Amino acid sequence: MDLEAGYLAISFSHKNTEITMREKLSFASPESIKSFLQTLKTQDNHLKEMILLSTCNRFEMYAYTDDPESTRDSIISLLAKIRDINVNLLKEIADVFINQGAVHHLFCVASSLDSIVVGETQIGGQLKSAYKLCFDSGFCGKNLTRLIHFAFKCAAQVRNCTQISQNAVSIASIAVKEANALFEKTNIKNKIAIVVGVGDMGILASKHLLHLGYKILLLNRNKQNALNLLNELNAEYRGMVEVRDFSLLSTLINEYPLLFCATSAPHHIIQNSMIKTVDFQRFWFDLAVPRDIENPNMDDISVFSVDDLQQVASENLINRRKNTTKAYEIVGISTLEFFRWLQTLGVDPLIKTIRKLAKEASIKELDRAIKKGFIPSEYQDNIEKVLHNAFNVFLHKPTINIKNFADKEDADPIIEAMKAVFDIDDEVMLINRYKCEYDMTLN
């Protein structure tokens, strides 16, 4: 059954999808994302705009489409094909949200209510990066731009009105906390940790380790990026970080007990063939999806993946339960406000409101002139016609211009600016929108 045009969200996350499946679904590079979206755009004529979000915890698509159900099937079918996954399995796993449900879901994601670690702030940056990539590549326009900007507004309100992000933690901070507990429990002598990768997760892990007094051996395939991170650190920490060549990875993993991996490599960077038996216990934290570590079956190595850290994250959620209740309330209200705001953006209500203001001003001044005796009352009807024609002539060109830019990507700020100039509030816009729709049904 075809549905009216609207928003669509498809989610494969830590809530419904095992890490092995998320590895298959993940996109490691901007080029692979753009290639997938271009293929999807070619195959689905209903699909108008789209954003792909791929992180260690979720693969999600947000779309604006003429037919949400058809686009849902197109997305899942293409994913199944390019990743060689049974299409029925993907349909069974996927959480699908349409229109109000899609908006509510995205607002929850942006506000970190859907994260493994509720209150973490990393998702905001990831969502902004996903939007920027898709916008710059021409895959999303004004409809998803409106949605994303409102999502960020909702997330800011959640942060400001609750304490959900107070003393915020992340998967990286939880991993470091667990590593430190294991360090103290096993009496490891030297507080040294290997960190591989200088993306968001690697940077966060490094900062938390430094705060706890660990020395870091930092590796990255592009060594210059690791050196750049070193230069960005506070002076007090720079002496605690040593950048090593990536080629030394196979040696270092057999010399030190603590390892944090967080690269965007599409394959294992630590393979079982690189691992040697040692006489000490090793604790490896794989914070990447797809996973960086092949998962060795050795007694002296304990490997923790993103999903393994969910138990600690769940304890964090219990401590934040009161704040999440308020946060969900804000998300619910923001969802309703978003659709209400959309109703104020049409240019017809704006034009109607401006014309109404012009007419009211004309009549008001005419009445005042008659009361003061400047104009005989018997001329009122004729003067009203003259004034009506005058403001119609004056508003003709602005009306054409407003209609011409209505479908452009920068229409929203122009409309909002005009509302501010004429001091038009949203209540008036809503009333005049309904009047416009009623007039159309009569015609």
| pLDDT tens figures, 104-141 | 999 999 999 998 888 888 899 999 999 999 999 999 99
How far apart are the C-alpha atoms of 67 and 127, rounded to whole Å?
24
H/E stretch holding 63: strand 58-65
Question: Of 265, 204, 376, which is closest to residue 28 (Cα–Cα)?
Answer: 265
Q: Is 108 annotated in the active site?
A: no
pLDDT tens sequence for the chain (443 residues): 344 679 999 999 999 999 999 999 999 889 999 999 999 999 999 999 999 999 988 999 999 999 999 999 999 999 999 999 999 999 999 999 999 999 999 999 999 999 888 888 889 999 999 999 999 999 999 899 999 999 999 999 998 998 877 765 788 988 998 999 888 888 777 899 999 999 989 999 999 999 999 999 999 999 999 999 988 888 888 889 999 999 999 999 999 999 999 998 889 999 999 999 999 999 999 999 999 999 888 888 999 999 888 766 666 566 566 678 889 999 999 999 999 888 767 777 788 888 888 888 888 988 989 998 888 888 888 998 898 889 889 988 988 888 777 667 677 788 888 888 888 876 655 555 444 433 433 33
Give CA–CA dist 169/158, Å, rounded: 16
Topology of domain 6-167, CATH: Beta Polymerase; domain 2 (3.30.460)
Determine which helix (DSSP H) or strand (DSSP E) holds 10, and give its type and residue range. strand 6-13
Bridge partners (DSSP) of residue 59 are 12, 54
Which SS3 state, helix, strand or coil, does residue 7 take? strand
Side-chain half-sphere of 102: how many Cα atoms within 13 Å?
25
Pair of tokens at residue 98: 């349409």
CATH of 171-309, one of 3.40.50.1980, 3.40.50.170, 3.20.20.70, 3.40.50.720: 3.40.50.720
Residue closest to 190 by CA, chosen among 262, 242, 249:
242
Residues 274-289 have pLDDT tens digits of 999 999 999 999 999 9
Catalytic annotation, pick one of 56, 108, 140, 261: 56
Q: Where are the domains of the chain?
A: 6-167, 171-309, 347-442
**What is the bridge-based pairing of β-strands 192-196 and 215-219?**
parallel
Structure tokens at 9: 């969200």
Q: Is 196 helix (H, G, I), strand (E, B) or coil?
A: strand
